[in-house]
Amino acid sequence: MVKVVLVRPETPGNVGAVARSMKNFGFEDLVLVDPCELTEEADKRAKHAKDVLKGAEIWDEMTWDDFDVTVSTSSETGGDYNVRRNAVSPEVLKEKLEDSEGTVGVVFGPESKGLRNEEVDRTDFLCHIPSNEDYPVFNLSHAVAIILYELSKKAEDTSYELASGKEKEVLMDQLKGIIEKVGIEDYRHDPLEQSLENSFGRAMLARREANTLIGFFRRVKENIKSQ
pLDDT by residue (tens digit) across 149-191?
Answer: 999 886 444 456 888 888 888 998 989 888 888 888 888 889 8
Instruction: State whether 137 and 81 are in the same domain.
Output: yes
Of residues 183 and 144, the one with the higher pLDDT is 144
User: Region 34-39: what's the mean pLDDT?
Assistant: 95
Note the pLDDT of residue 75: 56
Instruction: State whether 21 and 82 are in the same domain.
Output: yes
- Picking from 133, 160, 187, the residue at the C-terminal end of a domain is 160
Instruction: State whether 141 and 172 are in the same domain.
Output: no
User: Region 20-39: what's the mean pLDDT?
Assistant: 95
Q: How confident is the model at residue 44 (pLDDT cuts 50, 70, 90)?
A: very high
Of residues 227 and 222, the one with the higher pLDDT is 222
Instruction: State whether 134 and 185 are in the same domain.
Output: no
Instruction: State whether 13 and 54 are in the same domain.
Output: yes
Contact 108, 144 (CB under 8 A): yes
Continuous H helices in 25-164: 40-46, 50-54, 90-97, 117-121, 140-152
Q: Residue 65 gets which letter from DSSP?
A: G
The CATH number linked to 76 is: 3.40.1280.10
Other Cβ atoms within 10 Å of 40 Cβ, number? 10
Instruction: State whether 149 and 43 are in the same domain.
Output: yes
pLDDT-above-70 percentage for the chain:
90
Instruction: State whether 150 and 173 are in the same domain.
Output: no
Note the pLDDT of residue 78: 43
The overall average pLDDT reported for the chain is: 86
Nearest Cα neighbor of 109 from 145, 71, 58 is 71
Instruction: State whether 44 and 146 are in the same domain.
Output: yes
Structural domain for 143, as ranges: 2-160
Of residues 80 and 177, the one with the higher pLDDT is 177
Instruction: State whether 153 and 173 are in the same domain.
Output: no
Largest CA distance in the chain: 68
Phi, psi of 124 (to 5 degrees): -80, -35
Among left, alpha and beta (phi > 0; psi -120 to 50; other), residue 30 is: beta
Of residues 144 and 125, the one with the higher pLDDT is 144
Continuous H helices in the chain: 12-24, 40-46, 50-54, 90-97, 117-121, 140-152, 165-181, 189-203, 207-226
Phi, psi of 98 (to 5 degrees): -65, -25
In this predicted structure, the answer to whether residue 19 has a pLDDT above a threshold of 80 is yes
User: Region 120-143: what's the mean pLDDT?
Assistant: 86
- Picking from 112, 143, 160, the residue at the C-terminal end of a domain is 160
- Picking from 136, 160, 184, the residue at the C-terminal end of a domain is 160
Instruction: State whether 72 and 183 are in the same domain.
Output: no
User: Region 35-62: what's the mean pLDDT?
Assistant: 95
* Number of domains observed in the structure of the chain: 2
Lowest-confidence segment of 74-83, 124-133, 166-175 by average pLDDT: 74-83
Of residues 206 and 83, the one with the higher pLDDT is 206
Contact 120, 84 (CB under 8 A): yes
Instruction: State whether 75 and 141 are in the same domain.
Output: yes
Instruction: State whether 87 and 34 are in the same domain.
Output: yes
